[in-house]
Amino acid sequence: MVRASDGRALFLRRWEPGGNSQATLLLFHGITAYGGPYGPMLAEPLAAAGYTVVAMDLRGHGLSDGTRGDYPSAERFVRDLKETVAFVRSKSQTLVLMGHSLGAITAIVAAKNSPGKVDGLVLLSAARKIRTVTYRKSSARTALRSLIGATLFRGIPWIPYEREGMMGRDDPLFNFQYSARFYSVLYGVGALRLARMLRRGVVESPNLRFDGKLSMPLLVAVGDRDELFTTDAAREFCEEIDCDDKEFLILPGAKHATFPRGGLGPLVNWLAKRF
């Protein structure tokens, strides 16, 4: 557990390698999820490859404190990440942040606000342009709820998150209702810009951008069967980041939230070369 500066507890899961750890990977989960399901999906094979993996349950997710599906403020979001990075780094000589899907935003915000504490950055299943066919067209009722939530009840988690092929329906620790404030905090935009962004299927989030050149190794990777992002969209996202040491990988057989163990070889090789 990390005790945040406002007294709330943030839950961490830890997977250790059998021998000496080459580095610690701090993993940030995607929307609806929490750290637990990433065990068999990513953490266990990465630990078997020699890395310590720590997965954070974001506030209001999994076993962490907080209102489920909400975030109180952008300032609290940044503090939670800074305090978690500092805690994990205090026990690690080398720290690499790994963000999956919406967790890519979390990882980038954490890296930008933790100077000197992060040695590398891995962004999985992330891009700016979304396959719009993945999401069902919102009903008039859902659109109305979203509009009301964004203007009158920003802190109430009553906006449903739905897309085809979603996991976790039988897991009570998953979230499927979010507040407008949660989206605004994570994406770093106001209600009108958020609505326009989601309608267009292009993520115009300042939280996905770096101020100047990124001074640490960067890997952007996407599965060749990803349901949300095309490989071209992920490659374009990678190319727009100013970084002298960056690489783009396509993971064979991987979907958006499914990573066959045999397909993680390129990721493990990239980590081994640098850490």
Q: Give yes or no for a contact between 223 and 259, defined as CB atoms under 8 angstroms apart.
A: yes
**How far is it, in rounded angstroms, from Cα 90 to Cα 49?**
22
With cut-offs at 50, 70 and 90, classify the pLDDT of residue 178.
very high
For the chain, which residues make up each domain, given as ranges?
2-131+204-274
Q: Give yes or no for a contact between 260 and 232, defined as CB atoms under 8 angstroms apart.
A: no
CA–CA distances in Å: residue 177 to residues 67, 101, 136, 226, 266:
11, 17, 16, 23, 35
The pLDDT tens digits for 51-110 are 999 999 999 999 999 999 999 999 999 999 999 999 999 999 999 999 999 999 999 999
Neighbour count for residue 108 (Cβ, 10 Å)? 24
Task: Give Cα 197 to chain centroid, integer Å.
Answer: 18
> CA Rg, the chain, in Å?
18
pLDDT at 147: 55
The pLDDT tens digits for 33-55 are 999 999 999 999 999 999 999 99
The answer, yes or no, to whether residue 134 has pLDDT greater than 60, is no
Strands 52-56 and 246-251, by their bridges, are unpaired
pLDDT at 164: 77
pLDDT at 6: 97
């300032």: which residue's tokens?
75
**Which of 43-47, 115-119, 129-133 has the lowest average pLDDT?**
129-133
pLDDT at 199: 72
The answer, yes or no, to whether residue 192 has pLDDT greater than 80, is no
Q: Count of alpha carbons within 13 Å of 37, Cβ hemisphere only?
A: 20
Report pTM. 0.93
CATH class of 2-131+204-274: alpha beta
The pLDDT tens digits for 201-228 are 788 899 999 989 999 999 999 999 999 9
Q: Give yes or no for a contact between 17 and 52, defined as CB atoms under 8 angstroms apart.
A: yes
The pLDDT tens digits for 228-264 are 999 999 999 999 999 999 999 999 999 999 999 888 9
Strand partners, 12: 56
**How far is it, in rounded angstroms, from Cα 167 to Cα 89?**
31
pLDDT at 165: 76
pLDDT at 159: 81
Task: Give Cα 131 to chain centroid, integer Å.
Answer: 18
